[in-house]
Amino acid sequence: MSRIWAGIDSGKGHHHGLVLDADGKTLLSRRVANDEPELLKLTSWTWPTAVRSPGPST
Protein backbone atom coordinates (compact mmCIF):
# COMPACT_ATOMS: atom_id res chain seq x y z
CA MET A 1 0.00 0.00 0.00
CA SER A 2 1.43 3.39 -1.02
CA ARG A 3 1.59 6.22 1.43
CA ILE A 4 2.29 9.92 1.29
CA TRP A 5 3.66 12.27 3.91
CA ALA A 6 2.73 15.92 4.31
CA GLY A 7 4.30 18.51 6.54
CA ILE A 8 4.48 22.22 7.15
CA ASP A 9 7.50 24.23 8.23
CA SER A 10 5.92 27.16 10.08
CA GLY A 11 7.49 30.58 10.35
CA LYS A 12 6.57 34.12 11.35
CA GLY A 13 6.50 35.52 7.82
CA HIS A 14 5.74 32.44 5.76
CA HIS A 15 5.17 28.69 5.85
CA HIS A 16 6.39 25.94 3.54
CA GLY A 17 4.22 22.91 2.80
CA LEU A 18 5.68 19.69 1.39
CA VAL A 19 4.08 16.40 0.31
CA LEU A 20 6.25 13.36 -0.51
CA ASP A 21 5.34 9.93 -1.85
CA ALA A 22 6.68 6.63 -0.49
CA ASP A 23 9.77 6.89 -2.72
CA GLY A 24 10.60 10.40 -1.51
CA LYS A 25 9.40 12.07 -4.71
CA THR A 26 8.05 15.58 -4.14
CA LEU A 27 4.35 15.73 -5.00
CA LEU A 28 3.85 19.28 -3.77
CA SER A 29 6.13 22.02 -2.48
CA ARG A 30 4.68 25.45 -1.75
CA ARG A 31 5.80 28.54 0.16
CA VAL A 32 2.90 30.64 1.41
CA ALA A 33 2.56 33.85 3.38
CA ASN A 34 1.52 33.64 7.02
CA ASP A 35 -2.09 34.70 6.55
CA GLU A 36 -5.40 32.87 6.41
CA PRO A 37 -6.12 33.16 2.65
CA GLU A 38 -2.67 31.78 1.80
CA LEU A 39 -3.00 28.91 4.29
CA LEU A 40 -6.40 28.06 2.81
CA LYS A 41 -4.76 27.94 -0.64
CA LEU A 42 -2.13 25.54 0.73
CA THR A 43 -4.91 23.33 2.10
CA SER A 44 -6.70 23.41 -1.25
CA TRP A 45 -3.48 22.19 -2.97
CA THR A 46 -2.58 19.61 -0.33
CA TRP A 47 -5.95 17.90 0.11
CA PRO A 48 -6.41 16.95 -3.59
CA THR A 49 -2.83 15.64 -3.65
CA ALA A 50 -3.63 13.36 -0.70
CA VAL A 51 -6.92 12.22 -2.21
CA ARG A 52 -5.32 11.29 -5.56
CA SER A 53 -2.66 9.19 -3.87
CA PRO A 54 -3.50 5.51 -3.42
CA GLY A 55 -3.82 4.50 0.19
CA PRO A 56 -3.97 6.48 3.42
CA SER A 57 -2.09 9.74 3.85
CA THR A 58 -1.06 9.10 7.45
Half-sphere exposure of 44 (CA within 13 A, CB side): 7
Tell me what pLDDT residue 57 has. Answer: 47
For the segment 8-15, the average pLDDT, to the nearest whole number, is 92
State the pLDDT confidence band at 4, using cuts at 50, 70 and 90. Answer: confident
- Side by side, the strands of the sheet bearing 26-33 are 4-9, 14-21, 26-33
Query: What are residue 2's phi and psi, to 5 degrees?
Result: -80, 150
Tell me what pLDDT residue 1 has. Answer: 46
Please say if the pLDDT value at position 55 is more than 70. Answer: no
pLDDT in tens, 16-38: 999 898 999 998 899 999 999 98
